[in-house]
Amino acid sequence: MNRRDVVVGLGALVGTGAFASGTGAFSAAEVSRQVTIDVVDDSDGLIGLVANEAIAGVRMASGGKLTVSVGDDDPGVNVNSVYQFGAFVSDDGVEGITGDTFSVVTDGDPSDMSDGQNSLESAVAVVNQSVEDLSVTIDFELNDDIDGKTEYAFELQSSQDGSGSREGLAKSPITGQLSAELATGESIGLSFIINALEGTTADEISGSLSISATAV
């Protein structure tokens, strides 16, 4: 197994105020990142991690690292608020998390990378830039330090032949994993919602996100 460790930080703080193409073959890989809502990586690897530059808190930092930072040194989400980061394929199962604040933003193919950033609607895309079909798994190891009732949900989305579909939905408190099949050149996306309508300024979601890929 060819193993690569990276830190994907996912830490959401409630604040008081809001492809390159490549070739190669391998049998298995694991990309891990430490999240403070923080993701780490280079977008031109065999497993490409791509930040949607239009989404607040998601960016490519110096050294080619993908960073998702909502809180810590960056502004967090407001108390008495709901934030959505990236489009969802469907609002099924998450309508209630936005309450009456807004309707869940959806897109028919959010993780589409056929036109690069112009077509990406997910918060983060994972792209298979190897010559092998992959089985991709995202493991969540998140710790809730929540005094209020802050909620969150992650949707894993596939993009195949111009059509998107939900591969999995993980809602707070999250344990376990989400997985999808990814052919060469295909992408999956990850978008998320944070509901702090009944949260407090001390609420924090922290832990790690691990992306593993194995040749099919």
Task: Count CB neighbours of 60 within 10 A.
Answer: 16
**Domain range holding 130?**
12-215
Residue 160 above 90 pLDDT? Answer: no
What's the pLDDT score for residue 31? 56
Residue 152 lies in a domain: yes
What's the pLDDT score for residue 106? 96
Residue 204 lies in a domain: yes
90-141 pLDDT, tens digit per residue, is 999 998 888 788 899 999 999 999 998 899 999 999 999 899 999 999 888 7
What's the pLDDT score for residue 25? 57
Find the mean pLDDT for residues 145-160: 82
Residue 7 lies in a domain: no
Considering only residues 24 and 197, tell me which one the structure prediction assigns the higher pLDDT.
197
Residue 135 lies in a domain: yes
Find the mean pLDDT for residues 193-211: 75
Residue 173 lies in a domain: yes
The total number of structural domains that make up the chain: 1
What are 49's strand-pairing partners? 126
- Residues 113, 159 contacting (CB under 8 angstroms): yes
- Give me the torsion for CA of 19, 24, 26, 28, rounded to 10°: 0
Residue 5 lies in a domain: no
Residue 203 lies in a domain: yes
Which segments of the chain are extended strands (E)?
12-15, 28-35, 47-51, 58-61, 65-68, 77-78, 82-85, 124-128, 134-145, 151-160, 163-171, 177-182, 187-195, 204-215
42-95 pLDDT, tens digit per residue, is 466 788 888 898 888 787 777 777 777 666 566 677 777 888 899 999 999 998
Residue 131 lies in a domain: yes
What are 204's strand-pairing partners? 13, 145
In whole angstroms, what separates CA 80 from the centre of its chain?
A: 23
Specify the amino acid at residue 105. V
14-41 pLDDT, tens digit per residue, is 443 333 334 455 545 555 555 553 333 4
